Amino acid sequence: MALSPGSEPREPIEYLFPASPEVLRDIRAFVTGLAHEAGFADEERERVVLVTHELSANAVEHSATDVVCVRWQDTDQGVWITVSDQGVFEVGGSSGDRGRGLRIVLALADEVTIKPGRHTEQGTVVRMRVPVRARRASGAAGDEAPPAVLIVDGDRFAGRSLSSFLDAEGFPTVVTGSEEAGRAASASPPRVAIVDLTTSHGHTVPLCEDLTRAGIPVLAMSILAPPGHLRASRFLRKPVHPLQVLAAVRQLTAPSASGAASEVPRG
């Protein structure tokens, strides 16, 4: 669907979630973080989270899918949210919950389009635009707390998605996409650094060592096995659930945590 003239689309953010009732909390946290980053007022943020939750709950509970995809794009006309799955679009059922959820969405969103999945052609896509009437004014310089987490990840979508999740959980973040940018950002020492080892063609491995020597706890992550000479506080093998990352960050930022690590605990 084309945007009206005058809108200024920003880069969309997309994240895949496993389709289970327990993951709805993660989806709410993901959208809450994005809305907070966009500067939405409390009422606007709650509205965006509510409509996304309703669509996601419909997909999880009624479409018999394995994965739910949530896509976010913030524009001058409001937020475009797309929730898609690989299941079948079923209205109602025994309880009628899906119909009720759609009524909530239709009441709160200005534009809603539905591509229903069928038994012969699976895959449901619901796209909506939620108008945003109020955003918070930016605070004065120096009012914000220093970042708790430095994220160094060459995959900007993965880095920003993780950033939004951690922000929503109370860990403000700074996201960088290269080893050089990570070094520059660490001049203001974070409480913990999350470093993807494949970023900058593996040059982030020495970065992990330098951060560790500086007393900064390092959570290293990679789709590959960690190199034997890696120095970090902990290692997690990708793909990894955001809750596992959150648990590691909480552990590494605890008062008793130490940044130094002669051996990397494998996650």
Give the domain CATH number at 108. Answer: 3.30.565.10
Q: Which whole number is the average pLDDT over 216-232?
A: 94
Q: Distances from the Cα of 150 to the Cαs of 4, 56, 84, 157, in angstroms? A: 37, 30, 31, 15
Q: pTM, whole model, 2 decimals?
A: 0.50
| Mean per-residue pLDDT over the chain, rounded | 81
Structural domain that includes position 160: 149-252
CB 85 within 8 A of CB 124: yes
**Are residues 117 and 27 both part of a single domain?**
yes
**Are residues 39 and 107 both part of a single domain?**
yes
CA distance 15 to 34: 12
**Are residues 169 and 87 both part of a single domain?**
no
Of the residues 77, 103, 130, the one at which a domain ends: 130
Give the confidence band of 95 by pLDDT, cuts at 50, 70, 90: very low
Of the residues 130, 164, 194, the one at which a domain ends: 130
Q: In what order do the strands lie in the sheet with 124-130?
A: 13-18, 67-75, 78-85, 124-130, 111-115
Give the domain CATH number at 210. Answer: 3.40.50.2300
Number of compact structural domains in the chain? 2
Q: Which whole number is the average pLDDT over 187-210?
A: 94
For the stretch 40-66, pLDDT in tens is 887 788 888 888 998 898 888 877 788
Of the residues 130, 160, 188, the one at which a domain ends: 130
Give the confidence band of 213 by pLDDT, cuts at 50, 70, 90: very high
**Are residues 157 and 76 both part of a single domain?**
no
For the stretch 104-131, pLDDT in tens is 787 778 888 888 877 777 788 989 888 8
Overall residue count recorded for the chain in this entry: 267
